[in-house]
Chain A
Amino acid sequence: MKLLIGYTADERGAEAIELASALLRTSADAELELAIILPEQTPFQAVYPGGDHGFSTVLSAQVDRWAEQALELVPPAITARVVARAVPSVAQGLLELAAERDAQGVVLGGRTRHKAGFFAPGAVASSLLHASPLPVAMSTPAGVASLRRASVRIERLTAFVGDKPGAAEVIGHAVRSAARLQVPLRVATLVTDQPDGSADTEQVNRSRGLLEELVAGLDERVKPQVVTGGSIDEAIESIGWLDGELAVFGSSRLAPPRRLFLGPKAQRMLRRLPVPLAVVPHQA
């Protein structure tokens, strides 16, 4: 299996390598493409007084050094390559490279930022999450800390599904990934309490029925779970995480086919997520 990392020579890049290594741990022919995206030099960004002032020489030497440092971070069992390319848009460049190199997923190192109670991915992550036809995995410092406590191994997957179409697809994806990683899978649905504070029993029952229907006939290591709480935040905290867990989300049904899009509920969940996450695109 081959993954492409949107690599930056800082902690984010190192974290992305750790996450990708964990995802590739069980693959026989594990390959990593470390993509360093450079800004495109267009003549209209004229520098005054003129000239490149030796910048491309310095940048190119710097990229070579970054490339060597990056490769040292990759575990020896994984074949890794660095590719540097100048493109107008980072997200577009990553997708192009991923397609060109036949990567099966993109991995990013991220930082959690919040806006109005929602998880706000950075500009690159955001455009990737909106446009990627491939699964995108993202680490956060908290997520990587959890991975490290599990000796950089994925220990369990948790796929989050709602009652929307596409849930079966997300589960199918998670089942295949869990099998490849040889870990158990938990399929979870979040149900928040009613406005008056009482449990929404009707919704819980409906969700439980739906989940059981979805996982029926699957591997016995697939466990359904309905999580409740006063709010999404409470629910996501009460769910109980293993060290080395990976959260899997499906793209929202708002997204055009084969384009990722995180729904508002998922975005709110991501705010408190203590583990790395993967988002899989809508196939239909």
Chain B
Amino acid sequence: MSQDVVRAVEPASESGLHEKGLGKGTVGVLGTVVIGISCIAPAYTLTAALGPTVAEVGTSLPAIFLAGFLPMLLVALGYRELNRAMPDSGTSFTWATRAFGPYIGWMGGWGLIAATVIVLSNLAAVAVDFFYLLISQLTGAAWIAELTRNLWVNIPTTLVFVAAATWVSYRGLNATKSFQYLLVGFQVAVLLLFAVLCFTNPEPFDRTPITLEMFNPAAVESFTAFAAGISLSIFIFWGWDVTLTMNEETTDPAKVPGRAAALTILIIIGLYMAISLGVIYYAGIGSEGLGAGNPENQESIFAVLSGPVMGPLAILMSLAILSSSAASLQSTMVSPARTILAMGYYRALPESYSRISPRFMSPSVATITAAAAASGFYVVTRLLSENALWDTITALGMMICFYYGLTALACVWYFRTELFDSLHNVIFRFLAPLVGGVVLLVMFVRTCIDSMNPDYGSGSSIGSVGMVFVLGIGVLLLGVGIMLYMRIRHPAFFRGQTIKTRR
């Protein structure tokens, strides 16, 4: 039978696994842009991040959104290099392990898991808010929208949303092309409509003229506010790097990814500028009433503003955000599940996490673990924080800065012997990831220090330490704890027996 076994190995190449299947060469620029925008999920990111960012930087919102893109771009360039050099691994965990060894690699993987688990809990919460808002708008019963503030309604509904996304993800069901086009087109159209209605409103709540100063990052009052603003705006571009890493799926790998990435970012920045300027123009940044600086409005700015701005059309906004966050909920579930799977496979986590369902060909234990972690995180934050969404988004910004920064530096270190071999290497393997990585890690450290202040973020605190700090650092320390436990119980990964570090 040995001959048969040998033949059994052969089909793996035939399966197209190593070539990523049959989707080869089918996506053009437009398709890639649609994929990019759907990963960014602008309707969701704006409603979640706009309020907290205004709270930090006031009218400099457009500037900070622009500035937040730079480190994202620099890091994404480094990502692309790593992805080309190690196409078989494709995750922060393996990259950082190969560059820096098992400990930092482990924490890189943990950072990604933590960030995605946090965003899952936030996505589910936003979806639930707009689910009740949508029902309320459909039925005209205002009390239904308030249901989401009742923890006995909110928490179970959120858990149901997470469970549904888990089921879809575990069964390996996926959105089709036309569905993605529809979702993205609808989202962009509704956001543009919102921006137009903001500017054309005859009686803005707090008319604030647009000035050039709003585009000047240097106008942000303090470095604390700047750091907080950057880590929040990293979040709103999170997902964009997908367009850069798409290669063989595109009709022309030499041109399509670059063009699509540029076009995506132009559309996204245009959209973000239109919305942020529209919100500032219409609502101002005051902390009263509809003002974007009002802590009451931070959780979900569109939930508050879409009614006054859009009138009866506000229902479209609810629909756009509900669909965008629900779709993201399902596609985001895949990332932590796959990273947990890879960590189990390389014995950085117990082996059972590497189980794949033989029927659905999806991570089984890992998917359920990711869902359970997201649910647990949500319940804890919801119970502890007065303003859970705000605090989770800020903690999420921190976590993204951490693992993106780490991965960018992993790029520099991984290629350390060849950084100056060519101009290409100097730019894409050295300067871009170095600057991007350092900036993000500085933002991470700064946000950590600032968030110890109990007044930081929504102002929730535990034992006179800010809630965001407790969440962010708590999650990272939990990771350190699990890592040390694994080091003692299953040392193979930490001895470099499962993944070889480079040189």
Interface residues of A (CB under 8 A from B): 8-10, 12-13, 36, 38-64, 66-68, 70-72, 74, 76, 79-88
Identify which of B176, B180, B335 gathers the most chain A CB atoms within 10 Å of its CB: B335
Contact at A54–B93, with CB atoms within 8 Å? yes
Contact at B15–A51, with CB atoms within 8 Å? no
Contact of A54 with B356 at beta-carbon distance under 8 Å, contacts A46-B39, A76-B1 already known: no
Contact of A51 with B239 at beta-carbon distance under 8 Å, contacts A42-B174, A60-B17 already known: no
Identify which of A10, A44, A48 gathers the most chain B CB atoms within 10 Å of its CB: A48
A86 to B172, CA, bound (A): 13
Determine the chain B residues whose CB is within 8 A of the CB of A62 once the complex forms: 354, 356
Determine the chain A residues whose CB is within 8 A of the CB of B5 once the complex forms: 67-68, 71
Contact at B356–A49, with CB atoms within 8 Å? no
A42 to B334, CA, bound (A): 14
Contact of A48 with B332 at beta-carbon distance under 8 Å, contacts A53-B339, A58-B354, A85-B14 already known: yes
Interface residues of B (CB under 8 A from A): 1, 4-5, 7-9, 11-12, 14-18, 20-23, 26-27, 31-32, 35, 38-39, 41, 83, 88-91, 93-94, 112, 115-116, 172, 174-177, 180, 238-239, 241-242, 245-246, 249, 328, 331-332, 334-335, 338-339, 341-342, 345, 354, 356, 358-363
Contact at A41–B14, with CB atoms within 8 Å? no
B496 → chain A, closest Cβ, in Å?
17
Determine the chain B residues whose CB is within 8 A of the CB of A51 once the complex forms: 83, 90-91, 242, 245, 335
Determine the chain A residues whose CB is within 8 A of the CB of B8 once the complex forms: 64, 67-68, 70-71, 81-82
Top-3 shortest CB links A-B: A53-B338, A67-B8, A41-B21
Contact at B88–A47, with CB atoms within 8 Å? no
Contact of A38 with B15 at beta-carbon distance under 8 Å, contacts A43-B249, A50-B245 already known: yes
Q: Which of B12, B89, B176, B245 contacts A54 (CB 8 A)?
A: B89
Identify which of B7, B83, B177, B361 gathers the most chain A CB atoms within 10 Å of its CB: B361
Given contacts A48-B334, A58-B356, A86-B17, 5 further A-B contacts (CB under 8 A): A43-B249, A48-B238, A51-B90, A58-B345, A59-B356
Contact of A39 with B39 at beta-carbon distance under 8 Å, contacts A48-B239, A54-B345 already known: no
A83 to B7, CA, bound (A): 9
A13 to B358, CA, bound (A): 9
Which residue of chain A has the shortest Cβ distance to B180 in the bound complex? A44
Contact at A8–B358, with CB atoms within 8 Å? yes
A78 → chain B, closest Cβ, in Å?
10
Contact of A84 with B35 at beta-carbon distance under 8 Å, contacts A13-B358, A54-B90, A64-B9 already known: no
